Structure 1
């Protein structure tokens, strides 16, 4: 499956283009793009046969790296700006090596102290913007509505939990935290993948944890009445759940129940497949599969791994089915 195109990687380290310096010693690079709950990461695998990384070339934690991947003369994937999180040197019988791992969020932000705060009926936009600022990020997307609850975790973990409870996704992309409804999964930048385009694949149909019915309840102190709402997705083999969450009406309770089911059922039929490198394949993009019989359907990319090595540029993606309308 040759394309005739030459892979190209541009590495900018602390504001300097080091692509030419790294080219003779670059053994491979991987960029992992996640849709939900994790910051994207890169891993750069370099030869240390000349001992460069024992001295001045040794990377410092929180050094800034900007990555572009793609093909010469073609469109490039802007992976974003990363900060060094881990450096490892190895050697022995094989060639000495240096591996640099960097994250889309600074390790200092991910490892910040746990924040404890009561958010009672606050605007979601205010909550998210405050936390995003502490992470050095900008929040955008669907920040509508209000939320009541207790924050008892670090900022990034809290924003992911908040997004799940609101039926949304929190995706890290560059220095942006993007919020959008789970119901939109599969609708963004739809592409078609035919079986003939696939290098290898795995398909799993996962029943564990599948949820069909959920009831959300709350006790209203003013009216001294219980508010409840139930949503039944009628999913075969799915279980039931009851949750206590603050709501003001039965319709709001039913919507929260529906959002909870959608979040719990993100893992169901799951595709993992490898293709020739394609810069369009990013976490969140919709994909329509063709040539897989009963599994021909619309999916979304929950994880994309772009790898450039001696064997060429490949992209491996994990696909999941969007929640039922």
Structure 2
């Protein structure tokens, strides 16, 4: 943990380092990093007492922004490239302010028209790369296999659903769309967080939504026979579901059943914690919780929020521990 160090932010706006210009009027910077199919968010809150942001300094939608957060003389968190999505000006007895919100994907890509397309047994890599190109992103990670189904959403929503059906995560990281199996969560880059490191925490262990057994069925019109495959986790308090999906054999049906149940049960136990700012805590990183009794163990970060303001640097994270499927 970084203790006794002075928080620092470096703000680059449209290719120019504006950290010095913003320093006297900067109220705070917030960075939100999500694991599952959502664009990252940056918010900058500034004083507008001189009225600059209502005149020459007024930002434009899709202006490019890049921010580093961390400590002077220490490691810095590179948030990646963001594009302005929303500008807000407000005022009152406490003064005038400007709030700039930016996303890790351009608003033109997020707000694109719904695409309707039938994918029949196409390679996953071809589908994902095709959609990623329209979002001006690069796809990488586990793009193996084939997929059949109908696209009836905007690009990012579709890729998130596709990843879920394949038992994978689609993480937006800068201009990269990273796909990796849900089974990898809780296995990579373990950091240790002790009870004494945490300002406060909230823990939930909820049964609602858990699935114990899933069965995938299909009717093969050519062979005139039923195809079926099931996967049973034995999780306590879980329900059972039956899904009709196009599959070629019983083995594929069983895999689809497992992928579905793995996605539905990926939340499990959920921790929310607040602690001193730590640049290592990003969505997807695994941590080992120590000092919480029966809830000690390995969790993964599903959401991380880094905040630098007059109070210092804090990090709030949501930790999840998937239900075991085996």
Q: What is the distance in 2 between the residues matched to 1:64 and 1:215?
A: 47
Q: What is the distance in 2 between the residues matched to 1:93 and 1:211?
A: 53
The aligned counterpart of 1:13 is: 13
Q: What is the distance in 1 between the residues matched to 2:48 and 2:266?
A: 42
The aligned counterpart of 1:113 is: 113
Tell me, what secondary structure is at the counterpart of 2:159?
Answer: helix
The aligned counterpart of 2:188 is: 188
Q: What is the distance in 1 between the residues matched to 2:323 and 2:64?
A: 37
The aligned counterpart of 1:283 is: 283
1:236 CA displacement: 0.7
Following superposition of structure 1 onto structure 2, how do residues 19-58 of structure 1 map, counting pairs within 5 Å?
A: 19-58=19-58
Q: What is the distance in 1 between the residues matched to 2:14 and 2:64?
A: 5
Q: What is the distance in 1 between the residues matched to 2:319 and 2:153?
A: 29
The aligned counterpart of 1:68 is: 68
1:37 CA displacement: 2.2
1:264 CA displacement: 1.0
Tell me, what secondary structure is at the counterpart of 1:237?
Answer: coil
The aligned counterpart of 1:211 is: 211
Q: What is the distance in 1 between the residues matched to 2:290 and 2:254?
A: 35
The aligned counterpart of 2:152 is: 152
The aligned counterpart of 1:308 is: 308
Q: After the TM superposition, which segments of 4 or more aligned residues of structure 1 sit over 2 Å from their partners?
A: none
| Pair 1:46–1:240, CA change in 2 (3 A) | same
1:266 CA displacement: 2.2
Tell me, what secondary structure is at the counterpart of 1:252?
Answer: helix
Aligned residues: 325
Residue deviations 1:187-240, cap 9 Å, x none?
A: 121111110111110001112111111000111122111111111111111011
Q: Residues 206 and 267 of structure 1 are in contact (CA less than 8 Å); yes or no, is this contact kept in structure 2?
A: no
Tell me, what secondary structure is at the counterpart of 1:24?
Answer: helix
The aligned counterpart of 2:269 is: 269
Tell me, what secondary structure is at the counterpart of 2:20?
Answer: helix
1:252 CA displacement: 1.4
Q: What is the distance in 1 between the residues matched to 2:133 and 2:305?
A: 28
1:92 CA displacement: 1.1
Q: Residues 2 and 278 of structure 2 are in contact (CA less than 8 Å); yes or no, is this contact kept in structure 1?
A: no
Q: What is the distance in 2 between the residues matched to 1:224 and 1:77?
A: 57
Q: What is the distance in 2 between the residues matched to 1:236 and 1:264?
A: 14
Q: Residues 182 and 266 of structure 2 are in contact (CA less than 8 Å); yes or no, is this contact kept in structure 1?
A: no
1:94 CA displacement: 1.2
Q: What is the distance in 1 between the residues matched to 2:105 and 2:323?
A: 29
Tell me, what secondary structure is at the counterpart of 1:222?
Answer: coil
The aligned counterpart of 1:96 is: 96
> Structure 2: where are the runs of 5+ without partners?
none
Q: What is the distance in 1 between the residues matched to 2:181 and 2:277?
A: 28
Comparing 224-233 with 262-271, greater Cα deviation is found at 262-271
Q: What is the distance in 1 between the residues matched to 2:225 and 2:67?
A: 56
Q: Residues 13 and 64 of structure 1 are in contact (CA less than 8 Å); yes or no, is this contact kept in structure 2?
A: yes
The aligned counterpart of 1:162 is: 162
